[in-house]
């Protein structure tokens, strides 16, 4: 596993990758990650291409260029079937729009019923699944808000969540076009 730091409009992010797949993308508080040191010699050509693709995707997101979203490098997600269902549903929320935890719970529950799974999905279970999101921005959990569209629960911080939502409103506006599916999950 190799890691790199990427400077974005929203702060420094640490990406973890291996064999051409991204396994984690998180914000690093104040641009500092204690003990982080990238061994450039350890980065394979395949990983270098993956990082370049991710940086291209992030720059396109920052500019609001939807046409490059389908060029996202391969993501290696590890999660429970429920987490994967929540993450997939979250990627379907268009930029510039939000959904409450309750609305997402109903959508995930409906999706699970279509494939023969039963059971109640609660807003709390949605929050728990989103708290395990390994790739911030790529799985846009910042688009999930509380009752009354209150900003709650974002591992990148509430201020950053507000910044991301404000950015999307400015770039995409309300009812932004749906972004292409980012994952084959």
Residues involved in catalysis: 141
Q: Is the dihedral of CA 33, 59, 96, 100 positive or negative?
A: negative
**Residue that has been written with the tokens 């807003």 in this structure:** 123
Helix, strand or coil for residue 96? coil
Q: What is the DSSP letter of 89?
A: H
List the structure tokens of 90: 């979250």
121 CB contacts (<8 Å, ≥6 apart)?
105, 106, 108, 109, 112
Cα separation values, 60 from 65, 93, 104, Å: 5, 17, 26
In this structure, what is the dihedral angle of CA atoms 137, 141, 146, 151, given to the nearest 10 degrees? Answer: -20
- Put residue 169 in one of left, alpha, beta given phi > 0 → left and psi -120 to 50 → alpha: alpha
Question: Which residues make Cβ contacts (< 8 Å) with residue 123, sequence separation at least 6?
Answer: 100, 101, 102, 104, 105
């Amino acid at each position: 596993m190799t890691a790199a730091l990427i400077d974005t409009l929203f702060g420094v992010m640490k990406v973890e990758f291996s064999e051409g797949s991204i396994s984690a993308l998180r914000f690093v508080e104040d641009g500092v990650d204690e003990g982080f040191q990238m061994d450039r010699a350890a980065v394979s050509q395949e990983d270098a291409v993956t990082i370049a693709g991710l940086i291209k995707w992030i720059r396109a997101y920052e500019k609001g260029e939807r046409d490059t979203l389908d060029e996202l490098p391969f993501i290696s997600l590890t999660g429970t079937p429920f987490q994967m269902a929540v993450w997939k549903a979250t990627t379907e929320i268009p930029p510039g729009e939000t959904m409450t935890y309750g609305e997402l719970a109903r959508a995930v529950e409906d999706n699970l019923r279509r494939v023969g799974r039963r059971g109640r999905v609660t807003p709390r279970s949605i929050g728990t699944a989103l708290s395990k999101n390994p790739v911030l921005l790529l799985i846009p959990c910042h688009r999930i808000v509380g009752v009354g569209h209150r900003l709650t629960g974002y591992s990148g911080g509430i201020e950053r969540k507000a910044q991301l939502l404000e950015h999307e409103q400015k770039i995409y506006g309300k009812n932004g076009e749906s972004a292409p599916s980012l994952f084959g999950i």
